[in-house]
Structure 1
């Protein structure tokens, strides 16, 4: 196997990881109950965060924040995969 073949396979693997991260970002949710519990651990039992709970019991703001992290990792993986493809093409 040549270095070009190795880089091609590395690009394929990285792009598969990126695709899984993009998929994961659409599925991930953060429970509204978990957000409330975590908030109360810090601020006391009688307090509560500003929440917008979805019908499925997830917290909208916490879910969007978590999805943005997954999207960031997916974008980084995609950039790495494209960079590897560019190197392979240049060879």
Structure 2
């Protein structure tokens, strides 16, 4: 997710923690919803991406059903309120745990 430039960082984080998380909790079949917030790197540089949101599902049919729901529609539509939409992307990934 890329924070809208006119949104202060704290307001962006608060929206993700309250509104966005509240919507995500309602997605049918979602096992988890993890938010990762970007921080400065070891050189003190601020990354362009402000954070990542990651819902997980038991399997692909559960994900398909979950994302077909009105609750997921509301969750996916909400970032228009606080992110730079053209830069924010959705990616379907398969986790491969190494450690």
TM-score between both structures, scaled by the size of structure 1: 0.33
Q: Which structure shows the bigger proportion of residues in strand conformation?
A: 2
Q: Which structure shows the bigger proportion of residues in helix conformation?
A: 1
Q: Which has the higher contact order (CA 8 A, sep 6+)?
A: 1
**Structure of larger gyration radius:** 1
TM-score between both structures, scaled by the size of structure 2: 0.31
